[in-house]
């Protein structure tokens, strides 16, 4: 089988506009995999942190007859770089008579030169063609989403939105990826020690190379102004942070700028979790719901050593902090993240007739509860059985929550022309 070389369609187009003379070698970079059977070639700096083994890469324009002198090309590549350990990828670019870009790759090693099966990574419109019908992907490409908290809850939400075609992200988190996070996080060992924001940005770009991703490595409780600036410009705020203070702060920002917000979280060891949608001024706000006693007995999941150290006295040893970190399984977080994605896509697609529009009739509630196991806050729930009249584990429940006219956050701001239309009577 011929080795396969992937190149980005847009990079080849760019190359053709500035590589005007035939025969000149332009340097790029390639990454080789699996005994040099697959290569990813870039003519410009890769947009994300790549994997694979770094290999030399050159691009050259064919002459007017669409030809290159392969013998001369091979010897000039060998003169430019040492090929004893790894081969080089050479991209021969050209424009077809109808104007479409052409690119064929050659693999040059120290002993031979061989043609490769060259494949284009297509433009945006083709990447998401399979979502068509269910989602208006061109509209989603223009949507801006702010995701606060890029842990095991926030990172899959961000990634799934990118997969659906959402095009603009601001990722906010100041934690770095720890060894203990790996089993549940979308990022792996290769990203250890990196800021979660930057590692997740790379994952998003792997799914949607045309996404625009801004990152902020800040503690939002200490950087309110820049975070609020990002919230003011977004279409949807997604909150998967791990502390109440940040959620109350973000609630205030979402109300200040009239931005719909989604709050999702898991409780201890991910026995369950909940998702709250806040439509400012029409439905309950975060404070309306979480000051009402609804959350009694639900202890927040603790997944970072930072959280444990924050609640322990200074003299307590690190081992004690490590022992406090009790996390659930990735499969226990997944339903909560999945629900957040569904509601997020519904909110972002509002006003358009798409395949998911009918969900609007189902997802009437603003607060949703999920239980993975009969423990913690759900210990008293009856066994899951054939009767559907009682709440059971592994099913979603939409809870009727109301806007509190006495709410200290949104109640006092009521305007005369703002009826409490979000209240379910
Ligand atoms: Zn409120």
d(CA 276, ligand 1 centre) in Å: 13
Which tens digit of pLDDT belongs to each residue from 41-88?
Answer: 999 887 777 789 999 999 999 988 888 889 999 999 999 999 999 999
Write down the pLDDT at residue 354.
78
Q: Cα dihedral angle (222, 224, 229, 232), rounded to 10 degrees?
A: 140
> Does residue 126 fall inside a structural domain?
no
- Give distance in angstroms: CA of 70 to centre of ligand 1: 71
Q: Is there a domain that residue 370 lies in? A: yes
Mean pLDDT for the chain?
86
Per-residue pLDDT band for 269 (boundaries 50, 70, 90) equals: confident
How many C-alpha atoms does 156 have within 13 Å on its Cβ side? 22
Nearest-5° angle of CA 344, CA 348, CA 354? 105
CA of 289 to the centre of ligand 1 (A): 7
Domain that residue 83 falls in:
4-121
In the reported structure, the alpha carbon of residue 243 is separated from the centroid of ligand 1 by a whole-number distance in angstroms of: 18
pLDDT band at residue 301 under the 50/70/90 scheme: low
Strand partners, 8: 121
- Going from the Cα of 312 to the center of ligand 1, the distance in angstroms, rounded, reads 31
CATH of the domain at 41: 3.40.140.10
Q: In sequence order, what are the beta bridge partners of 156?
A: none
For residues 204 and 214, what is the distance between their CA atoms, to the nearest angstrom?
11
CA of 344 to the centre of ligand 1 (A): 21
Same domain, 168 and 95: no
Distance 17 CA to ligand 1 centre (A): 55
User: How much is the average pLDDT of 366-388?
Assistant: 86
Residue 367 alpha carbon to ligand 1 centre in Å? 14
CA of 48 to the centre of ligand 1 (A): 40
* Same domain as 165, residue 85: no
71 in any annotated domain:
yes
**402, 423 in Cβ contact below 8 A?**
yes
pLDDT of residue 417: 44
- Please list the alpha-helical segments (H only) found in 325-401: 330-348, 359-362
Statement to judge: residues 50 and 113 lie in one domain: yes
Q: Are residues 109 and 206 in the same domain?
A: no
SS3 404: coil
Q: Could you give the number of structural domains in the chain?
A: 2
pLDDT at 305: 67
**Three-class SS state of 168:** strand
* 152 and 95 both lie in a single domain: no
Q: Which residues sit with Cβ closer than 5 angstroms to ligand 1, an ion?
A: 285, 287-288, 407, 409-410
Interval between CA 119 and ligand 1 midpoint (Å) = 53
Cβ neighbors of 295 (< 8 A, separation 6 or more) are none
Distance 294 CA to ligand 1 centre (A): 14
Do residues 150 and 112 share a domain?
A: no
Look at 202-211, 316-325, 392-401 and tell me which has the smallest mean pLDDT: 316-325
> What percentage of the chain has pLDDT greater than the value 70?
85
Residues 111 and 178 in one domain: no
Is residue 389 in a domain?
yes
Q: Within this chain, do residues 153 and 81 fall inside the same structural domain, yes or no?
A: no
Q: How far is the CA of 261 from the centre of ligand 1 (A)?
A: 13
In a shared domain, residues 271 and 376: yes
Alpha-carbon radius of gyration of the chain: 26
Residue 264 belongs to some domain of the structure = yes
Residue 416 located in a structural domain: no
Compute the distance from residue 417 Cα to the ligand 1 centre, in Å. Answer: 17
Q: What is the pTM of this model?
A: 0.82
Residue-level pLDDT at 175: 95
CB 384 within 8 Å of CB 393: yes
Residues 171, 216: contact at Cβ < 8 Å? yes
Integer Cα distance of 233 and 64 in angstroms? 49
β-sheet bridge partners, residue 267: 300
Q: Are residues 246 and 206 in the same domain?
A: yes
Per DSSP, the residues of 109-163 read -SS-EEE-EEEEE--HHHHTGGGBTTB-HHHHHT-EEEEE--STTHHHHHHHHHH
Answer yes or no: are the C-beta atoms of 33 and 89 closer than 8 Å: no
Residues 112 and 165 grouped into a single domain: no
Residue 346 belongs to some domain of the structure: yes
Number of other residues whose CB lies within 10 A of the CB of residue 163? 15
Predicted pLDDT at 163: 92
CATH number, domain with residue 184: 3.40.50.720
- pLDDT band at residue 424 using 50, 70 and 90 as cut-offs: very low
Q: Are residues 270 and 158 in the same domain?
A: yes
Residue 410 lies in a domain: no
| 287 CA to centre of ligand 1 in angstroms | 5
Ligand 1 mean position to 358 CA, how many Å? Answer: 28
157 alpha carbon – ligand 1 mean position (Å): 25
**Distance (Å) from CA 406 to ligand 1 centroid:** 8
Q: Tell me: the pLDDT tens digits for 125-154?
A: 566 666 666 666 678 889 999 999 999 999
Residue, of 212 and 98, whose pLDDT is higher: 212
């Amino acid at each position: 089988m011929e080795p396969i070389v992937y190149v980005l369609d847009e990079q080849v187009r760019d190359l053709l506009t500035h590589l005007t003379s035939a025969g000149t070698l332009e340097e790029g970079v390639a990454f080789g995999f699996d005994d040099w059977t697959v290569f990813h070639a870039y003519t410009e700096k890769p947009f994300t942190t790549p994997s694979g083994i770094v290999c030399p890469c050159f691009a050259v324009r064919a002459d007017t007859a669409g030809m290159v002198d392969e013998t001369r090309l091979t010897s000039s590549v060998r003169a430019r770089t040492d090929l004893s350990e790894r081969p080089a990828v050479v991209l021969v670019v050209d424009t077809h008579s109808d104007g479409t870009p052409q690119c064929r790759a050659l693999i040059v090693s120290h002993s031979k030169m061989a043609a490769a099966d060259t494949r284009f990574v297509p433009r945006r419109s083709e990447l998401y063609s399979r979502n068509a019908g269910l989602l208006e992907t061109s509209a989603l490409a223009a949507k801006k989403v702010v995701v606060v908290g890029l842990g095991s809850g926030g990172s899959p939400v961000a990634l799934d939105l990118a997969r659906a075609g959402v095009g603009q992200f601001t990722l906010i988190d100041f934690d770095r990826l720890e060894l203990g996070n790996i089993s549940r996080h979308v990022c792996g060992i290769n990203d250890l020690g990196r800021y979660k924001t930057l590692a997740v940005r790379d994952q998003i770009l792997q799914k949607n190379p045309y996404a625009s991703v801004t990152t902020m490595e800040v503690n939002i409780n200490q950087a309110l102004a820049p975070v609020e600036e990002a919230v003011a410009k977004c279409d949807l705020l997604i909150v998967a942070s791990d502390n109440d203070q940040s959620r109350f702060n973000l609630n205030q920002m979402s109300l200040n700028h009239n931005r719909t917000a989604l709050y999702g979280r898991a409780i201890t060891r991910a026995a369950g979790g909940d998702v709250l949608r806040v439509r400012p001024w029409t439905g309950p706000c975060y404070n309306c719901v979480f000051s009402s006693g609804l959350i009694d007995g639900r202890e927040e999941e603790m997944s970072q050593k930072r959280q444990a150290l924050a609640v322990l006295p200074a003299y307590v040893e690190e081992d004690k902090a490590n022992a406090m970190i009790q996390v659930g399984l990735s499969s226990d977080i997944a339903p909560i993240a999945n629900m957040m994605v569904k509601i997020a896509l519904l909110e972002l697609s509002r006003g358009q007739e798409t395949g998911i529009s009918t969900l609007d009739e189902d997802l009437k509630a603003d607060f949703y509860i999920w239980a993975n196991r009969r423990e913690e806050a759900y210990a008293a729930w009856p066994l899951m059985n054939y009767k559907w009249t009682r709440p059971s584990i592994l099913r979603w429940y939409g809870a009727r929550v109301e806007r509190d006219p006495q709410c200290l956050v949104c109640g006092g701001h009521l305007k005369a022309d703002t009826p409490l239309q979000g209240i379910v009577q």
